[in-house]
Structure 1
Amino acid sequence: MAEQDPETTEETGAPLEWPLDWHEGDMPYSRAFDDHFYCRSDGRLECGHVFLAGNDLPARWQRPGPFRIGELGFGTGLNLCETWRQWRITAPEGARLHFTSFERFPMARADIARALSRWPEIARERAALVERWPDAPAGRVEIALDEHVRLTVVCGAALDGLAREAEAFDAWYLDGFAPSRNPDMWSAALMAEVFRLAVPGGRFATYAAAGFVRRNLAAAGFAVERRPGFAGKREMLCGARPAA
């Protein structure tokens, strides 16, 4: 989600919630960024194509845990739910998954439930997430989704949140709003923090293919690869931190 500040009330300076529209029934759309929260054709399949395949998953988590995934932009929780679904099917016995997402403006429980209701494939994961989601998420939200899967959502500006992290991640999902609409979420400073928090040999993936995003990732130290994008999109980016 977003890195810039929302509008504030004149009386208190308190931030207003980001205004949402709903397209095609249950597809959330941010008026502030003039952008949908996920691909209009099928966000769940896009997650598999971009974030899981781009990070060579589930093959890379075929080892004893924990396996750590970092994400920029929790949004509706769709990436978490689809990743968890595939983890349940393919992860080795006893492995553990820790999914950590950085989100400045977490959605309300009812909005998450509505946004994810379009996919019966993740009904089990959606129900578990919605049941445990706090009424007023703030700070560092820690949720045990089951005995092997843990979710952390760090609420606040992504750059601040990453700067306070010490433990590196095996895979990164870079899923902010489109770079043309929210360039701060793809800045050189933020990509440098993502690189710092990637294990040697760790990977990233993103639907974005903008030139400045590719350059910022390469300048941070990643070996960047272009792959065909989802649903006819020409390109996406993925890559790795060198192993040595």
Structure 2
Amino acid sequence: MAITWDDGDRPFSEAFQDHYFSKADGRAECGHVFIDANRLGERWQAGGPFRIGELGFGTGLNFCETFRRWKTLRPPDGHLSFTAFELFPLGKADIDRILSHWPEIAAERAALTAHWPERAEGVITIDADPQTRLTVICADALKALTALPDRYDAWYLDGFAPSRNPDMWSQDLMRAVFDHTAPGGTFGTYAAAGFVRRNLQAAGFTVERRPGFAGKREMLAGSRPAGR
């Protein structure tokens, strides 16, 4: 994936003509849009295994910030499985450069980049610590997800902007996400486009609008009903 740099360290995708994260603060954006919207802090307290699925691994920022929060909140018997789908993985040097912007996640960045291959392809599995496993599937999200039997407790829907990358928000992919969500499972996304909301609702999710991050008017969050 060809990227250029704004303000020295903010990556911009040439292919999708979009930035990878908010100019305000990508790490704080992750907390608001994904961690808080999915109520992860309170849900992790239950212990046992917890599975997060992500559409669009990008820079790895969401994983690193989630890993940081997870380490402060997890019970002794907790285990986090974080699975991301990324068709255009970034190189190790770019990921390291991007994530070095946040000293708060220095340890998590080191855990990620220490095991990130020079040429990212296929399925990348990283045991970040004994309670945390990252899996990045470098493939088309719809094809890869459809082939998996797994169900996830929470989803981060984080593809590039719907207007720039509509395939990542299609009705078929949203249906696949629903089918691979545990009953009562949740999602969060910065996106608020009408067709995204309608595709999520058509798939079977309950969807609500919430205040967006850093002055953005709206974002979407929701869940798969427990009885479905």
Q: TM-score, normalised by structure 1?
A: 0.92
Map 1:58-207 → 2, pairs under 5 A: 58-207=41-190
Instruction: Give the secondary structure class of the aligned counterpart of 1:230.
Output: coil
Amino acid at match of 1:77: G
CA RMSD, aligned part only? 0.7
| 3-state SS of paired residue (1:83) | helix
Deviation at 1:147, TM superposition (A): 0.6
Letter in 2 for 1:154: I
Residue in 1 aligned with 2:23?
40
The residue identity in structure 2 corresponding to 1:32 is A
Q: Deviations over 1:26-75 (max 9, x none)?
A: 11101111110001110000000000111011111112221000000000
Which 4+ residue blocks in structure 1 deviate beyond 2 angstroms?
none
Moved more, 51-60 or 66-75: 51-60
Counterpart CA distance in 1 for 2:58 and 2:110 is 16
Deviation readout 1:159-181 (Å, 9 max, x if unpaired): 11101111100000000000010
Count of residues in correspondence between the two structures: 227
Q: Determine what percentage of the aligned residue pairs are the same residue.
A: 62
Cα distance in structure 2, aligned partners of 1:192 and 1:54: 20
> d(CA) in 2 for partners of 1:239 and 1:118?
31
Q: CA deviation at 1:94?
A: 2.3
CA distance in 1, matches of 2:41, 2:83: 17
Contact 1:26 1:117 in 2 (8 A): no
Q: Where in structure 2 are there 5+ consecutive unaligned residues?
A: none
Give the one of 35, 38, 45 matched to 1:55: 38
Matched, 1:19 2:2: yes
Query: CA separation in 2, counterparts of 1:241 and 1:123?
Result: 34
SS in 2 for 1:44: helix
Equivalent residue number for residue 217 of structure 1: 200
Counterpart of 2:191 in structure 1 is 208
Deviations 1:4-23 (A, max 9, x none): xxxxxxxxxxxxxx221011
Q: Secondary structure at the match of 1:192?
A: helix
Any gaps of 5 or more consecutive residues in structure 1?
1-17
